[in-house]
Amino acid sequence: MRRLALIAIVIGLVGWSLPSFGGLRDNVAVTPEGVVYSVDLEIVDPDSIPVKTILNLTTQKGAEVTVEPIPATLDGSLHVLPAIAWDYETDTVFVFWLNIRSLVSTELLFTSKSSEGWSEATSIEGGVFHYRENLRITTTHSTTVFDEDGNPGEQVPGLRVHAVWWDDDGSRSEAHYAQLTILDGAVAAIETAALIDIVPPQSESFLGDENLSSHALRHPSVQTAPDGASVRIVFGDHTAQALRTIDIIPVANGVLTIPIGVRPAPDLPDMIPAPLFSANYSIRSDFIFGSGPNDIIAWTLDPDGTLIRFRRWNGESWSSESILHLNERFTADIAIEGLYNLIRQTRPHGLLTIPIG
């Protein structure tokens, strides 16, 4: 039974390596020079216990394509859920993934590749009796100087890698966050926290839809702000049965504390009812933020990879569910880009007039 469970985990995650879902997994990065980096999972021994996998980095420069295994994944264990980011200032590729040694022992690992080669793998969070899933990452390139009273001041250069994922240890089931400080292409500091422990307290109680599937809350999202100086995080709160929103600003002269570096999202409510979809399970869910206040698209990809369901938040309620049918020509990547275009092109209020608009 144990072996079958491990195989089932891999089979469920192998779909993330299919090319048609490339843009959905945070495992593709493109540089301004047109270099494409991607990370894929490869099963090397499906009959072992646990199943043995490796992660491969593919680099495409023009028509030249090279594939190399990530050295830290050659230890004969189970490596899944790769996520990738690229830093333009240091020309460094950052790779996160989950190492599963048993059903009760997982570890979140990180490595990077620069002109000097691969770094040693760094453990962000490990330990037994932890089940982790739905890893997302992004980067910021500025940090903010705060004064003694917690007021933000000037911004200075500073590379941070931000990661969110869902963690279940048997007693607590919640979204977690990690912020990595990168100096000269190496990890200089790691800060981790359960997101529910660092969000500002609510001024009033909130209770979401009692019919909401718990799975709908297990997909935290992190996105870089347009100025590159902060990240926006949306994550599920099981107690409230709702979504929480928060902005995190990397701190230049200290560590992440409350309220320094943590603030409510200025154009979103602290809590949003989680969207209800007709499918109770998905292999990926995420959010797309518009330019207008309270403008969000929530989407989810069905387990069989043939449907994307989405709903739009207008500041007061979610729209009815719409469905995109996927096929060989209309892939998930194209569908998600279409949703980005939808939220970018739709005016939140009014009509185009002169001189307005």
CB hemisphere CA count around 216 (13 angstroms): 24
CA atoms of 273 and 176, how far apart (whole Å): 20
Q: What is the mean pLDDT of residues 149-155?
A: 79
CA atoms of 49 and 51, how far apart (whole Å): 5
Query: What does the pLDDT read at residue 181?
Result: 87
Which of 11-25, 285-299, 343-357 is predicted least confidently? 11-25
Query: Beta partners for 161?
Result: 139, 180
The 10s digit of each residue's pLDDT in 264-282 is 777 777 888 888 888 877 8
Tell me the residue type at 243.
L
The 10s digit of each residue's pLDDT in 183-223 is 777 788 888 889 998 887 765 566 566 667 777 788 899 98
CA atoms of 212 and 316, how far apart (whole Å): 18
The 10s digit of each residue's pLDDT in 295-321 is 889 999 988 889 999 999 888 889 999
Cα angle 353, 355, 357; round to 5? 60
The 10s digit of each residue's pLDDT in 245-265 is 888 988 887 666 666 788 777
Token representation of residue 91:
């020309």
pLDDT over threshold 70, residue 84: yes
The 10s digit of each residue's pLDDT in 85-116 is 887 777 888 898 888 876 666 788 989 998 88
pLDDT grade for 76, boundaries at 50, 70 and 90? confident
Token representation of residue 19:
């090319």
CA atoms of 147 and 124, how far apart (whole Å): 29
